[in-house]
Amino acid sequence: MEEMEAKRPRSLRTGLVATIISCWVLPIIIIVILAGVLLDANYEHSVRQELSAESENALEQLEMRFHAAFEASKSVSYDGVVRNAYRLYQQDGDNAAFYRTATEYLSQTFSRDERVRAVFLSFWEDIGVHPYYTANQTHGSNTITSYRSGTEQAVLEAMRDADTGIVLMEREGELYILRNLLDSHFSPYATVVMLCDSDVLFQSMEPVWRLGDAALTLDDSLVLRSDGTFHEADPDDASPADGLQCTTTIESHTFRIDAAVRSYNIWREMPNLRVAVLIVVLMGLPMLLIMIHAFRRLVTQPVETLVDATSKIQDGARGYVIEETARSREFQKLYRHFNAMSAELKSQFERSYREQQALQQAKMKALQSQINPHFLNNTLEIINWEARIAENDRVSAMIEALSTMLDAALDRDGRSQVHLREELSYVDAYLYIIKERLGDRLETVSETDETLMDAMVPRLILQPLVENAVEYDLTPRRGGKVCVRTYREGARMVLEVEHDGALSPEDLVNLEHLLHTPLDTGEIAAKVGLRNVRERLWLTYGEAGTLTVEQTGPDTILARVMFPVLA
């Protein structure tokens, strides 16, 4: 007993904790070494690459946003709404009507444009009105007042010789896009002024500013810095020698990004790091070897044994037993549990096999005990003769209709398709039985193309539609009208069942799910008849066979089946 206690393996947790404690300095040193070496060697290179990529991406985004803004300014001229309204104003002098037309047009055109905070129309002659649109309607009056008091005159001066070119103007820290509007004589009569939202237009610059010291220069005259303010470009401010420069041109306007990587040197910031790293590396190598060896003995080899055992189970060796002994209590326990599970798996497999054999025998007995369909038909025939002898024609007719429906359902001759005439007889038999239940409250109408009577259709393709109409709509209403139509539409046959009823929003959702979900999902639909019809159409005709259900009137529903005509 004492000998067994002496040979008892130590805990895996104890071994790992002891190893980690003895080598605790190694992970720290490795992190320091990697952080120092990699950060110093690769920081500037990686950030420079990222800064270059972000700069190019920022210019692409700027190009798209400014191009869209320029196109929006052109649309004011090309649409002709303002020009026509201005021409009408020159004829009738009604500046109020012109103001309404121009303001509504600006609101409709720019209300969804996040790049624009406000749009103004400044006319070269004083017409008494100043149409405008502002994204913040509550401050609209302040916006137009501020524009007219300080900016409008500068805009007209800047655009006097601009012809149809687009001008970028900075005013009090705001960026404006200006473009003249020309009349039919190609003479400028007004200027459209777009007050830009710099936060949206220059949003793509944020990653560039986050990575380095960068500035965006517009037309070599305006400089946008990371604080979001514009400044006049200084010719003496040159890009650093090791900086990045990306340029693009949009509608003859030049956009240039000058960026430089912020310098950082971990060795300069931590002078003693080099000596510490060297000492730790020399001390850490032996510790690393010890840890690898201990981890292999205590963890790696037992795990490999378990993996190998599970592979043998997967290959079919049920009941496989691990014979070797682990060096830790935890893995010894895992080995015992594995062996117990392997034995249980073998037992379960054998029991499942026996149960499967018993289930198959039970199924065979169930099949053997099923009622013979011929017996059902013969029984119905005997009941029918009894009804005739008793001169009960109504019961006899119902039995004959039921016999017709039973023949159709049993499909003893194995025909998947029948003549339309036979399919309609199934519908008539079903409706006869239902009419006996609902009486005069059920009205039936048949509109049949006699030339299609010999055409082939899938067996029981029409009767389920009629049954669906009766069970889900007519029976709850205690009656109603059902109309069955068959006609040709080109090379396709159309079968329709139109009946009284209304589809609720929940019905519409269920029908959409029923008629458009994939057929191989294995889902059991609530309306089995419709699902069955759709599946058989797909199996028979593929995409050429369709089933639709729709609300054709306030109180009528139409189910339509279409497929190629088979003579």
pLDDT tens-place string over residues 200-219: 888 888 888 887 788 888 88
Instruction: Please provide the DSSP assignment of 43-105 as one string.
Output: HHHHHHHHHHHHHHHHHHHHHHHHHHHHHHHHHHHHS-HHHHHHHHHHHH--HHHHHHHHHHH
For residue 415, tell me if it sits in a domain: no
For residue 23, tell me if it sits in a domain: no
Domain of 539, in residue numbers: 445-564
Statement: residue 246 has pLDDT above 80: yes
When comparing pLDDT for 567 and 476, which is higher? 476
Give the CATH number for residue 83: 3.30.450
What token pair was written down for 563? 């497929």
Q: What is the mean pLDDT of the segment spanning 146-157?
A: 80
- What's the pLDDT band for 43 if we cut at 50, 70, 90? low
Residue 483: per-residue pLDDT? 93
pLDDT tens-digit series, residues 369-407: 444 454 455 555 556 555 667 666 666 666 666 666 666
pTM exceeds cut of 0.85: no
> What share of the chain has pLDDT > 70, as a percent?
73
Statement: residue 511 has pLDDT above 80: yes
Residue 288: per-residue pLDDT? 67
For residue 409, tell me if it sits in a domain: no
Statement: residue 555 has pLDDT above 90: no
| HSE value, Cβ hemisphere, 13 Å, CA-based, for 461 | 32
Residues in the chain: 567
For residue 433, tell me if it sits in a domain: no
Residue 366: per-residue pLDDT? 40
Q: Three-state SS for 560?
A: strand
Q: What is the mean pLDDT of the segment spanning 442-464?
A: 88
CB 152 within 8 A of CB 168: no
- What's the pLDDT band for 563 if we cut at 50, 70, 90? very high
Residue 524: per-residue pLDDT? 43
Least confident of 306-310, 505-509, 527-531: 527-531
Statement: residue 561 has pLDDT above 90: yes
- In the chain, the number of structural domains is 2
For 243-262, give one letter per residue: b (16+ CB within 10 A) or e: bbebebebeebebbbbbbbe
Which residue intervals of 439-543 are DSSP H helices?
A: 463-469, 475-477, 505-516, 528-541
Last residue of one domain, picked from the residues 234, 261, 288:
261
Q: Three-state SS for 348?
A: helix
Residue 376: per-residue pLDDT? 52
For residue 211, tell me if it sits in a domain: yes
Which of 459, 551, 453 is closest to 501 using CA atoms? 551
- Alpha carbon distance 245, 564 (integer Å): 67
For residue 504, tell me if it sits in a domain: yes
For residue 407, tell me if it sits in a domain: no
Residue 407: per-residue pLDDT? 63
Q: What is the mean pLDDT of the segment spanning 527-547?
A: 82
For residue 408, tell me if it sits in a domain: no
When comparing pLDDT for 234 and 6, which is higher? 234
Last residue of one domain, picked from the residues 261, 277, 309:
261
Residue 70: per-residue pLDDT? 84
- 138 burial (CB, 10 Å; 0-12 / 13-18 / 19+) is exposed
Statement: residue 434 has pLDDT above 50: yes
CB 118 within 8 A of CB 148: no
Which of 227, 233, 197, 231 is closest to 209 using CA atoms? 227
- Alpha carbon distance 365, 360 (integer Å): 9
The rounded mean pLDDT for the chain is 76
> What share of the chain has pLDDT > 90, as a percent?
5
Last residue of one domain, picked from the residues 210, 242, 261:
261
Which of 257, 233, 222, 236 is closest to 62 using CA atoms? 257
Give the CATH number for residue 525: 3.30.565.10
When comparing pLDDT for 220 and 138, which is higher? 220
- Alpha carbon distance 349, 341 (integer Å): 12
Statement: residue 522 has pLDDT above 50: no
